[in-house]
């Protein structure tokens, strides 16, 4: 059984939708950021702060390599996982990749309303949150497109609606 891999920017719903999909499909759910935090005993934000982004990307690539080799899982990867070419290749080969998208304004609203944002999600630039989202969206869209087998827009949809939309593209 192939894996189902969710990719997209932070706030697109990968973790929340991934958990719901895994439950509905009776599959194991893996969030690569959560796995890194579990193994390193530090949040992603703290790893960025203390070790730097290059070191974090190595940890991320190792976790992706391990879980991409498995099967029958729902895997949610961090928004920047696609920055590494080997990750893009592994994720696409690991199963069906679904790119969860949303408007910049929707992503900003979701991230800003999550009380865990400051402690768990590292700021990647000195720009405002909305400016950072727009820049990352523009920078990463071609990489997500390279990896994705399908794309699902999550703007204005609740978790159940997104799960239904993902299941519909898998049929």
Q: In this predicted model, what pLDDT tens digit does every residue of 102-137 receive, in sequence order?
A: 999 999 888 888 666 554 555 555 567 788 889 999
List of residues 6+ apart from 169 with CB closer than 8 A? 98, 150, 152
Q: Which domains does the chain have, with CATH numbers?
A: 3-166 (3.40.50.300)
Q: In this predicted model, what pLDDT tens digit does every residue of 43-52 receive, in sequence order?
A: 998 998 899 9
Residue 94 reports pLDDT greater than 70: yes
Q: In this predicted model, what pLDDT tens digit does every residue of 63-85 receive, in sequence order?
A: 999 999 999 999 999 999 999 99
pTM to 2 decimal places? 0.92
């Amino acid at each position: 059984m192939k894996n189902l891999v969710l990719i997209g920017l932070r706030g697109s719903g990968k973790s929340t939708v991934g958990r719901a999909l895994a439950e509905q499909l009776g599959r194991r759910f893996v969030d690569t950021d959560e796995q890194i935090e579990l193994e390193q005993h530090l949040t992603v934000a703290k790893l960025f702060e203390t070790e730097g982004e290059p070191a974090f990307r190595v940890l991320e690539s190792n976790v992706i390599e391990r879980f991409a080799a498995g099967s029958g899982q729902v895997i949610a990867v961090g928004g920047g996982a696609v920055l590494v070419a080997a990750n893009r290749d592994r994720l696409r080969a690991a199963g069906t990749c679904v790119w969860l998208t949303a408007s910049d304004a929707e992503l900003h609203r979701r991230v800003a309303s999550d009380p865990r944002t400051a402690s768990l999600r590292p700021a990647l630039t000195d720009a405002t949150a909305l400016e950072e989202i727009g820049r990352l969206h523009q920078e990463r869209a071609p990489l997500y497109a390279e990896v994705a087998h399908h794309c699902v827009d999550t703007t204005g949809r609740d978790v159940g609606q997104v799960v239904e939309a993902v299941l519909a593209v898998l049929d």
